[in-house]
Structure 1
Amino acid sequence: MNWGGYHQLFHDNLLRALPRAGGSILRSNLERVVKPNVAFLRECGLGACDIARLCIPTPSLLSISTERIRTAVARVEGLLGVPRGSPMFRHALQAVAFLNEEKITAKVEHLKKAFRWSDVEVGIAVSKAPTLMTRTKESLQRRSEFLISEVGLEPTYIAHRPVMLTYSLEGRLRPRYYAVKFLKENGLLKRGPSYFTVFNETDNVFREKYICPHKEAAPHLQKDYDAACKGEVPTNFRFT
């Protein structure tokens, strides 16, 4: 391992992580704790940049015992189904590093209940968006009620596109849904786009596709959409 090159990269990111680490890394033994942990994470397929990024939000990860990290990795692979080498592995490890098996299982069960997912579907969702494991029950429940009960999306559709669940409900999902529904109900869309596409577009692209082309036919649309993004429900977006 080239510790010289790694040290400089790690040092820069470590300075950003220290305020949240409480000095835990500095108090840890470099030879007996930090280096073995970094070596094991590299064996898991994480490069120096990945480990540095992992350290910023969870800096104390490098100061715990290597055995605890091995246990966390085993849970990521066994309970979440995210293998080493996967692009989502680092995110999954970050999400559950300090959760015991009981808490991980409870979170998975809540996801299944909230979104009416099967074991296979929750596995697909978590493997694609491990950060779901960090969401509160209330946050997940509100998204479930909106996407399934209001928008009418099928649970399996959501399971294969779980990134939707990481977007802001009030600032992104609801406003875009209201805007597209308004366009549909007023015959301004030739064909309805998939809601995953609607939710996944950047703000600029969404506006270019669904707001700007209708300035003449619906001159109030941009103002209504901006208001909806602030948490308001304009009269034109109140559907019965």
Structure 2
Amino acid sequence: MPRMLTANVEQIRAMVASAEGLGVPRGSGMCRRALQSVAFVSEEKIATKMEYLKKTFRWSDAEVGIAVSKGPFVLKRSEDMLKRRSEFLISEVGLEPAYIAHRPCMLTYSLEGRLRPRYYVMRFLKENGLLDHGRHYYSMVLFSEKVFVEKFICPHKEAAPHLAEDYAAACKGEVPTRFRFT
């Protein structure tokens, strides 16, 4: 953030104090992201966003603290974006709020291009006995696109010959009939 170079020393100290107030220590790798998230943002706006996170994700104060310290970038996300991810992850996928709080990077991924299509694939594979039921959704979301396809699409070419095209369609926002679950 080039603008930080023109800030006075007191502003910089206030930003660092604000980042530390989020639970991000100065020496941590997340400190830079925390500074970017709080730079030139009032304490009131930060508090308002944290209250919104609590309400939207049904988090306790402690869970908001965990999520923000692990992923201060959530403070920069729009309320609409956060709401849509909350509705999907909690209501549709069925994740517990605390689970999401410990894995805030899920909130950075595209809902239409990554989160929803991979959920459809996971659910399809589990319902057809092609995936261990102990597999966690988060582990499927983390993989790069290439690795995801290699691990979860390609091995099932024979058992599910349309899986690759259904996944591609889901990534474009379509819901193939094989991905409609009752």
Q: Same fold (TM over 0.5)?
A: yes
Deviation at 1:217, TM superposition (A): 1.1
1:146 aligns with 2:88: yes
Paired with 1:187 and 1:68, the residues of 2 have a C-alpha distance of 57
Paired with 1:190 and 1:124, the residues of 2 have a C-alpha distance of 29
Flag structure 1 segments of 5+ consecutive residues without an equivalent.
Answer: 1-57
AA at the equivalent of 1:189: L
AA at the equivalent of 1:154: E
User: Do the aligned residues in 1 keep the contact of 2:122 with 2:137 (CA within 8 Å)?
Assistant: no
1:162 aligns with 2:99: no
AA at the equivalent of 1:147: L
Number of the residue aligned with 1:74: 17
Paired with 2:134 and 2:62, the residues of 1 have a C-alpha distance of 29
What are the within-5 Å matches in structure 2 for residues 3-14 of structure 1?
A: none
Deviation at 1:117, TM superposition (A): 0.7
Number of the residue aligned with 2:152: 210
Aligned pair partner of 1:106 in 34, 48, 69 = 48
Number of residue-to-residue matches in the alignment: 182
Moved more, 219-228 or 68-77: 68-77
Q: For each residue in 1:7-28, what CA deviation from the matched residue of structure 2 results, as whole angstroms up to 9, or x when unmatched?
A: xxxxxxxxxxxxxxxxxxxxxx
Aligned pair partner of 2:113 in 143, 148, 171 = 171
User: Do the aligned residues in 1 keep the contact of 2:15 with 2:39 (CA within 8 Å)?
Assistant: yes
User: Do the aligned residues in 1 keep the contact of 2:166 with 2:176 (CA within 8 Å)?
Assistant: yes
Q: Which runs of 4+ in 1 moved over 4 A?
A: none
AA at the equivalent of 2:151: K
User: Do the aligned residues in 2 keep the contact of 1:121 with 1:159 (CA within 8 Å)?
Assistant: yes
Q: For each residue in 1:19-42, what CA deviation from the matched residue of structure 2 results, as whole angstroms up to 9, or x when unmatched?
A: xxxxxxxxxxxxxxxxxxxxxxxx
Q: For each residue in 1:82-117, what CA deviation from the matched residue of structure 2 results, as whole angstroms up to 9, or x when unmatched?
A: 111011001000111010010000011111111111
Number of the residue aligned with 2:78: 136
Percent identity between matched residues is 68
TM-score, normalised via structure 1 length: 0.74
Number of the residue aligned with 2:175: 233
AA at the equivalent of 2:120: Y
Aligned pair partner of 2:68 in 105, 126, 129 = 126
Instruction: Describe the SS at the equivalent of 2:27.
Output: coil
User: Do the aligned residues in 2 keep the contact of 1:143 with 1:165 (CA within 8 Å)?
Assistant: yes
Q: Larger relative CO (CA 8 A, sep 6+): 1 or 2?
A: 2
Paired with 1:141 and 1:123, the residues of 2 have a C-alpha distance of 18
Tell me the C-alpha RMSD between the 2 structures: 1.0
TM-score, normalised via structure 2 length: 0.97
